[in-house]
Amino acid sequence: MKRFLLKRILSGVLIIFISLLICFVLIHAAPGNPVTILAGHDNPSPEMIESLTEKYGLDKPLPMQFVNYLGTLLKGDLGYSIVSDKPVVTLIAEKIFPTLLLALTGVILAVVIGTMLGIYAARKKGSRFDVAVNSISYVFDSTPGFWLGLMMILLFASTFKLFPTAGMVDLRAGYTGSAKVLDILHHLFLPLLTVTLIQIPRFFRIARSSVIQIMSEDFITTFRAAGMKESQIFRDYVFKNAILPTVTLFGISLAYVLGGIVIVEIVFAWPGMGRLLMDAIMKRDYPLLMGIYLTLSVSISVTMLLVDIVYAAIDPRIRYE
Amino acid sequence: MSLLSIKNANVIYKVKDTEIHAVNDVSFEVEQQDSVGIVGESGSGKSTLAMMILRLLPKDTSVTEGEIEFDDRELLKMTEEEFDKLRWTELAAVFQKSMNALSPVHRIGHQMMNIYKVHCPNVSKLETKKRVLELFRMVNLPERVFHLYQHELSGGMMQRVSIALSLMFNPKLIIMDEATTALDVITESQILEEIMKLQKELKLTRLMITHDMSIVANTCRKVAVMYAGCLLEYGLVTDVIASPRHPYTIGLLKSFPNFKGERAEIYSMDGNLPDLSRLPEGCVFAPRCPYAQKKCFTCPPQTVTYENGRQVMCHFEGGNNGIQY
């Protein structure tokens, strides 16, 4: 297990390095750079551009720039945002909590609700409930998140005025303590509902199909022939076998949501990393962009590592030696 | 006295609008401590018959008719609760594909103890474990199997686990459904030896389902030949193999290579199993029967009983009409 962990962490570091490299190449290949944006549109001064280019080391060859970035990164320094001149760490730290709050809660809720619905549908296979939830799941699976978000705002915020349309806190109220928590929850509801609804179908379907598949396995016949009650068979044997694909999907989904939540965040003006990322892309803020990608790839690598460990704990057929 | 007596058993699978007659009017009796082999090709209804006796057929898609008397009780009329008490304690089974006989993500010992607790919930953990280890010894398995998972065992060892599991409560009847089919011939013959030894020691009655006539010839006292859901011939192995009376049995016996003798080409029967959703008017085997006459296509044959409880379902059995097989 120790050797596996070490190997897995090393490969995680390698993956992070490669994704950083790809990201670095891509953003530098995009037209424009932060200096021209800083210099302004109307009458940019060539001297200022030159001095800024030199200041941020953008005159050096690309491989050199990448090595320099890695060098400072290894010292634990993510650098300064070119546009706002604040440390990248501070900028990300301000925005990471709302993103994690939305993404993690959304995926966890989707896992719990989707899996429960899936198990129930599988046990009542062919029933009205099964058919109905199955069809609905396809609808939500093919709905784009931003559109669903807009519909939510239209329905619950604009028409019924049940929830706020945007933001994470009511800026004018200035709540503190438990009132603030309630206010955040109130703001969280619609974006969370959107993320959860988009994620539920995949968990529903994988739980449903794996329960149906496990129920038809030969060992279920053994337990039935032995006179074990259906409820005990399900509780003791079907569940543990059927939950394995869900664990895998959980890791993949979390990675997907962390990266893909941007648009939902923008629709709801949620003050998370999505907004930060979009701004950084628009302004070609290289250090900030790299910092955000680094955060995303580290959290995805850590999630995958955790999923692998959990998987090994549940399934004895997977041994890490 | 017979332990198991099956009378006019019928199983119909209902799939959408078609009805598939998987078992048709099968009747035979199994004596106490007897061993009966059921042979037939795939789709002949032998596994369905086993599942019918064990009441494991899917309730929503299958209909069963007839009577199955087991130890003076009518199995098909019992309530689910009554039958649950009988399961495994009196009526156990070893299923095909024993590599999947248990859950892959739980330890074998744990699962066996769990099954033991279904019928003996008040026995202590230690006693239960003792019983499981005793079962392992009976089928020549090492004790370490208790802590292993299914994928850590070979096919032969899993087969032994399945057999050990079926012996857990000293059942009266064991149904073995293609129990050794997946094994190599050497392991297969070892396990069959052991099964016969255990049968004697534990005074078991055994119903063995297989498509291998040689296994039946070597390990069973009686044989039932099934085809398209019908029982075509039933009787003592010695009688049936020495002088088969049904054309299908004759064909079946001819299709196995002779161990001694010369190497002749093995006989293969023309045609396929009939469509079980549209049973023929006459004899089910008539379309493939080399001796079929006009009568065979129009009128279903009766089952005739002879000496030693031998049953044959054929119009022209025993050369009544001068047909030479």
DSSP string covering A118-140: HHHHHHTTTSHHHHHHHHHHHHH
**Which site among A221, A232, A240, A243 would you substitute to test the B interface, given the most B Cβ atoms closer than 10 Å to its Cβ?**
A221
Which residues of chain B have a CB within 8 Å of the CB of A219? Answer: 100-104
Q: Which residue has the higher pLDDT, A170 or B249?
A: B249
Q: Do B105 and A217 touch (CB under 8 A)?
A: no
The distance of B79 to chain A (nearest Cα, Å) reads 13
* pLDDT value of position B305: 86
* pLDDT value of position B112: 94
Number of H helices, E strands in chain B: 10, 12
Q: Do B95 and A222 touch (CB under 8 A)?
A: yes
- What is the C-alpha to C-alpha distance for residues A147 and A73, in angstroms, rounded to an integer? 38
Q: Which residue in chain A has the smallest CA separation from B117? A: A228
**DSSP type of residue A97:** H
* pLDDT value of position A321: 55
The answer to whether B153 faces chain A, any CB pair under 8 Å, is no
Which residues of chain B have a CB within 8 Å of the CB of A211? Answer: none
- What is the C-alpha to C-alpha distance for residues B273 and B41, in angstroms, rounded to an integer? 9
Residue A166 in tokens: 């945007």
* pLDDT value of position B324: 46
Checking if the pLDDT of B121 tops 80, the result is yes
Domains detected in chain A: 90-290 (1.10.3720.10)
A105-163 pLDDT, tens per residue? 999 999 999 999 999 999 988 899 999 999 999 999 898 888 999 999 999 988 888 88
Does the model's ipTM exceed the 0.90 cut?
no
- Beta-carbon contacts of A185 under 8 Å, excluding residues fewer than 6 positions away, are none
Residue A48 in tokens: 């200022």
The answer to whether B119 faces chain A, any CB pair under 8 Å, is yes
Checking if the pLDDT of B172 tops 80, the result is yes
* pLDDT value of position A251: 86
A242-283 pLDDT, tens per residue? 999 999 899 888 888 887 788 888 889 888 888 888 888 888
Give me the percent of chain B exceeding a pLDDT of 90.
Answer: 38
* pLDDT value of position B261: 60
Please report the DSSP string for B248-301 in residue order: HHHHHHHTSPPSSS--PPPP---S----TTS--SS-TTGGG-TT--HHHHHSPP
- What is the C-alpha to C-alpha distance for residues A240 and A32, in angstroms, rounded to an integer? 53
* pLDDT value of position B322: 44
Give me the percent of chain A exceeding a pLDDT of 70.
Answer: 99
B204-237 pLDDT, tens per residue? 999 999 988 888 988 999 999 999 999 999 999 9
Q: Which residue in chain B has the smallest CA separation from A316? A: B105
HSE-CB for A45 with a 13 A CA cutoff? 4
* pLDDT value of position A35: 83
* pLDDT value of position B321: 47
Checking if the pLDDT of B181 tops 80, the result is no
Checking if the pLDDT of A98 tops 50, the result is yes
Q: Indicate the pLDDT class of residue B296, thresholds 50, 70 and 90.
A: confident
Average confidence score pLDDT of chain B: 87
Q: C-alpha distances in angstroms, A285 versus A20, A59, A73, A88, A295?
A: 15, 16, 16, 10, 16
* pLDDT value of position B316: 79
**Which site among A123, A222, A224 would you substitute to test the B interface, given the most B Cβ atoms closer than 10 Å to its Cβ?**
A222
Q: Do A223 and B115 touch (CB under 8 A)?
A: yes
The answer to whether A72 faces chain B, any CB pair under 8 Å, is no
The answer to whether B118 faces chain A, any CB pair under 8 Å, is yes
Q: Indicate the pLDDT class of residue B258, thresholds 50, 70 and 90.
A: low
Average confidence score pLDDT of chain A: 88
- What is the C-alpha to C-alpha distance for residues B119 and A227, in angstroms, rounded to an integer? 8
B177-196: average pLDDT: 85
Which residues of chain B have a CB within 8 Å of the CB of A217? Answer: 100
* pLDDT value of position A48: 82
Give me the percent of chain A exceeding a pLDDT of 90.
Answer: 39
**Among the listed residues B227, B204, B197, B163, the one whose alpha carbon sits nearest the alpha carbon of residue B4:** B204
| Phi-psi map region of B5: left, alpha, beta (phi>0 left; psi -120 to 50 alpha) | beta
* pLDDT value of position A191: 93
Listed by start position, the domains of chain B span 2-31+40-90+222-319
B7-11: average pLDDT: 91
Q: Do B95 and A241 touch (CB under 8 A)?
A: no
CATH superfamily of B2-31+40-90+222-319: P-loop containing nucleotide triphosphate hydrolases (3.40.50.300)
* pLDDT value of position B264: 66
A293-315: average pLDDT: 87
- What is the C-alpha to C-alpha distance for residues A214 and A119, in angstroms, rounded to an integer? 11
Checking if the pLDDT of B146 tops 90, the result is yes
A177-200 pLDDT, tens per residue? 888 888 889 999 999 999 999 999
Q: Do A218 and B100 touch (CB under 8 A)?
A: yes
Residues forming a β-bridge with B305: B311
